[in-house]
Amino acid sequence: MGTLITTVCESCGYRKDNMALFGGMIGFLDTCMIPYYCESCNTLFEGNMLEDDIFCPECGKDNTFSYEDARTGFKEDKTLFSWFVHKFEREVKLNEEGNLCPKCANFTLKFEDVGNWD
Ligand SMILES: [Zn+2]
Ligand SMILES: [Zn+2]
């Protein structure tokens, strides 16, 4: 049970379809996928936030932070998605708009909810 999200940048047209986020019924306790940003190579990818170090699938470095970090434009009061993570006993949140685009570096990236997966 998770959420499928399509990412679109309104300014440069960057697009990444059907990212499967949050948890599944299998692996629900040890998997929570959320969008991450790699500062080394400017890549957006899905990472498992329950792991200690999140490595970029493109360059292999751990110079990464999630889209729940202020550096990606995250603001607490603009939450669109939230997902309770038992391991941390808190909700993970994502903003719908105003996220950092990995291609043009503007805060014009949108996360759109396009369905569920299980
Ligand atoms: Zn990278
Ligand atoms: Zn862009």
* Sequence ranges of the domains in the chain: 2-117
Does the pTM exceed 0.85? yes
Nearest to 39 by CA among 15, 72, 10: 72
* Distance of alpha carbon 68 from alpha carbon 75, whole angstroms: 8
Q: Which residues of the chain have pLDDT under 70?
A: 1, 24-29
The runs of H, that is alpha helices, within the chain are none
Q: Looking at residue 103, what is its pLDDT?
A: 98
CB atoms within 10 A of CB 92: 20
CB atoms within 10 A of CB 45: 18
For residue 92, the CA-to-ligand 2 centroid distance in Å is: 24
For residue 2, the CA-to-ligand 1 centroid distance in Å is: 25
> Which-ligand-closest: CA of 36?
1
Q: Give ion ligand 1 contacts, CB < 5 A.
A: 38, 40-41, 43, 56, 58-59
Side chain identity at residue 48, one-letter code: N
For residue 63, the CA-to-ligand 1 centroid distance in Å is: 7
Q: Looking at residue 97, what is its pLDDT?
A: 94
